[in-house]
A and B are shown apart, each in its own frame.
Chain A
């Protein structure tokens, strides 16, 4: 009897089922194992070519038994195949009349009514115990039942059953039952036998011809096997013949995975080829997935600008929280912290990672050096989030921010809060020590020192410097020069000097922002803009806190605009420089166009305030006093600046002047801070004249 070539080759030998390996085909002659791929039967789409010649031959001979046997065999091989309808004509005039029950059983079998075939056999045997069903039919039934059990078991994750059924019915493991082979492969993988899984796929790719099934095999391998093994399977790609393979999508997927792995590890680099594959995926789909991968790759490989673009694309492709996380982190990496904070704030509730990023960015924003000048509303929205999340690092950052903006009591409270949330946080403890010392809160200062001096040298040093007589070095009275090393800082809460100014232009800025929308955030050359447009753009850039770019826009407005525009642009430009603490540039800008008297005063006062504060921070007390005096000629000196003046005198050793200033402040209500100054003077003069 003729066999249908390699199609009937079962996977038993290769799969290690050799012990029970049997040929399902009747006649049982062993086909050559593993014929070369080129000899595989040609595949015609997904419908295999069924060789019916033997069937027709038996039919023409009137050999019903063999006809039925052949039908059974072909049915087992090709579940979707139906026998030709013209067989009865071929067998017309044949000798033996067919057994009617056999006919009926085969009909039921063809209709897949397996339980009824079994029932009819049982019924017939009950009435005639000598009757036996055709062996071929029994074999065919067993094959169908085995396939059902195997499929059901695999659908329910019963992998041992899958393997035991396959072992007992090796005839199932042929290229005509690729689905069964896939399920057996998965069962091996799910029972920790990946090598066997690979063997099944290897068998399939070596012997089975259908290109769609071959590709699907690799897709399944991707979900079950380590990537290297999948890559090894690519060698079976058939590049020639009637139906060549195209495993390109598998190669792309492997490349995508390699880039994905490298995307989170800055020490791993992806090959240019792999990166190109991901770029191709980005172009050919609308998925956010590959964009995100490339975004993270760039982020972790020193290209945050490109990462930012990619995350923007991912956001446009509904990449969601993950894209937002990347976008915010890229902004941060680009040191565009103000934008990063505003963006991350909007996304903070989307996922825990987004909240984490927001808190990190807020912390970074607050911790910039030199200390930034933040809009009140930004600080105001950071605070409740930090409080709700009990995020100690941001609390500490709020402490330093307050401290550096001379809001010492607020700083003290934040450091205390940070310590509550993270009791072992030395920097917060140091901040608390500094603030309590500045506030002259002896008990609190001593408490924190007592708690930390064994663990923190700098806190111990702080205590020793504050109280030299208890210092470890039995040094005599510290000379004044050395006191300068840790100069008395003003325990003053200074208003942000520009708040009033910003109030005046806020409306202008936010109008510009709403006119331009998101486009104002895009870096572009203002050359070519009209004066009005450049002005609007300048204000818009001020609104999103990119003052240096605003300067360029204002310059354009000054160059091309009308008188009114030029005046406003010059004003804006000096505000922009003030934001960056570039007071000289601000002063020059203010003079670029005539200003109204009130704006002259406003700008001048702002510039001088910043100069005074900057000089004071740098301990250039003489310059501080000069700037303050100049400012006082324009506008009355407010209490916080008076205190700066007082401390400048103090640090210059001009105690009488300092005392006069502090007393004046004390009378207007800033008694506590003034009191600190007066105490300091008393201490200093006591030391100076023992």
Chain B
């Protein structure tokens, strides 16, 4: 087994956590590594400007154009991350201002997840969405470090503590990330706990652990990876977006959700690649499935294996291109090299993938590549 760590010095708590992680993982044949991303400066100002002018309002609100022009904590988190990637201090501050005054109002310190410009009050669901919280906290932490802005770091720390305090749940002997502070735990619904694997923004965990070391980030992270392997071990080899962990670590599609590998889970490989966790065998299988000769990127029923919807947008194709690049060194096809604006979500995925490729795999996107 190999265990690569970043050349950068690691904080002590992180090192300890990683050691315990290694001990646990020694039972598995899986090799994992974590390489912190720099992020800043990895998205071109032209790409960002196209994104910003379409999806970010002057108020700092990131608009989900496919979803009734609402905003949500996830979108604000992505907006912050991409503004940082474009080194756009101005936009970052703008998006943060909206996030802070409109969403970060919960008593527990987490963000309300849903904001609708047509509703009064604008907050139409005061629950949180843990991936949104993680993305915001992560972007703040990275921005605080990059721009040396203590306001961002302080806000990141506060949010990290709130996440650790309110969203870590138990499933048997594992620690899991609950999708929301309320409504998903073992006592909250008959098939609880229910989780969503795409809420594990893997690259954020070490950063969170440094900000709020009193919570078990590394265990939640590790158990997330184990869960993913379990959930992807069925005949179809794809996890459903929403999983019930009622029967321990044998995840099943949760009640009330379609048993689909859908828009949520599409992000999982991207998050794994961004965290540098390229050794998971599952990524190879997914790359096969997603290749143009096979199924392509699609929403798939995890019970029947049938594809319900083919996803042709550039942002989804880019997910496959990133996998092919990271696993095989395949250059990104020419058609994907230029950013074409579409809806909020695929556009976001595109830029997140392109940011990763620019930082970690420049050879796949360099002009020298065929």
Contact = CB atoms under 8 A, between A and B. Distances in A.
Contact of B94 (A119, A125, A157): A119
A155 to B, nearest CB: 4
Residue with the highest number of chain A CB atoms closer than 10 Å, among B94, B98, B121: B94
Contacts of A119: 60, 90-91, 93-94, 97
B97 A115 contact: yes
Contact of A156 (B98, B101, B121): B121
B5 interface: no
Interface string A140-167: 0000010011001101111111000000
Interface in A108-137: 113-116, 118-123, 125-126
A682 B94 CA distance: 108
Contacts of B121: 152, 155-156
Given A115-B58, A126-B147, A156 B123 contact: yes
Contacts of B147: 126
Interface string A358-393: 000000000000000000000000000000000000
A120 B126 contact: no
Contact of A161 (B60, B90, B102, B107): B107
B58 A149 contact: no
B92 A113 contact: no
Contact of A115 (B59, B104, B122): B59
Residue with the highest number of chain B CB atoms closer than 10 Å, among A115, A120, A122, A145: A115
B144 to A, nearest CB: 13
Contact of A149 (B90, B91, B105, B107): B105
A115 B126 contact: no
A123 B60 CA distance: 14
Interface string B74-105: 00000000000000011111101110111011
A114 B123 contact: no
A123 B97 CA distance: 14
B101 A122 contact: no
Interface size class of A (residues with CB under 8 A): 20 to 34
Nearest to A113: B58
A122 B122 CA distance: 27
B141 interface: no
A157 B105 CA distance: 10
Contacts of B94: 115-116, 118-119
B106 interface: yes
Interface string B336-352: 00000000000000000
B112 interface: yes
Nearest to A164: B107
A157 B59 CA distance: 23
Nearest to B99: A115
Contact of B60 (A115, A148, A149): A115
A123 B147 CA distance: 11
Interface residues of B, number: 25
A158 B90 contact: no
B112 A145 contact: no
Interface string A159-202: 11100000000000000000000000000000000000000000
A156 B92 contact: no
A76 B101 CA distance: 17
Contacts of A125: 89
A156 B90 contact: no
Contact of A123 (B90, B100, B122): B90
Nearest to B123: A156
Contacts of A123: 89-90, 93
Contacts of A120: 90
Contacts of A153: 105-107
Interface in A201-234: none
A149 B105 CA distance: 6
B107 A122 contact: no
Interface in A473-528: none
B82 to A, nearest CB: 15
Contacts of A155: 121, 123
A122 B90 CA distance: 6
A121 B93 CA distance: 9
Given A115-B58, A116-B94, A161-B107, A122 B123 contact: no
B101 A152 contact: yes
A113 to B, nearest CB: 7
Minimum-distance CB pairs A-B, first 7:
A155-B121, A122-B93, A160-B107, A115-B97, A153-B105, A123-B90, A115-B60
Interface of A: 113-116, 118-123, 125-126, 145, 148-149, 152-153, 155-161
5 contacts: A119-B90, A149-B100, A156-B121, A159-B107, A161-B106
Given A116-B58, A122-B89, A158-B105, 16 more contacts: A113-B58, A113-B59, A118-B96, A119-B90, A119-B91, A122-B92, A123-B89, A123-B93, A126-B90, A152-B121, A156-B112, A156-B121, A156-B123, A156-B126, A159-B107, A160-B107
